């Protein structure tokens, strides 16, 4: 197995970290700070902004 095949097989088993996954993790007990930090480490600024919007929506709920 060459490096390209190894990278592809690894990518296939690692779930994509997106807003839906972050919400699932949040409702399982992860903090928004932890999830936002993970998005920042990944360099996913769109997800980071979506998490901030999600946090704001939670604060705005009655």
Domain edges within the chain: 16-60
| Stated pTM of the model | 0.73
Contact 17, 44 (CB under 8 A): yes
Q: Give the pLDDT of residue 47.
A: 95
What CA–CA distance (Å, rounded) separates 46 from 8? 24
Reading the chain (62 residues) residue by residue, the pLDDT tens digits are 455 555 566 666 767 889 999 999 999 999 999 999 999 999 999 999 999 999 999 999 87
Q: Give the pLDDT of residue 7.
A: 56
């Amino acid at each position: 197995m060459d490096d390209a095949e190894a990278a592809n097989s690894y990518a296939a088993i690692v779930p994509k970290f997106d807003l839906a996954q972050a919400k699932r993790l949040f409702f399982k007990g992860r903090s928004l700070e932890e999830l936002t930090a993970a998005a920042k480490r990944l360099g996913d600024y769109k997800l980071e902004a979506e998490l901030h919007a999600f946090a704001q929506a939670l604060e705005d709920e009655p």
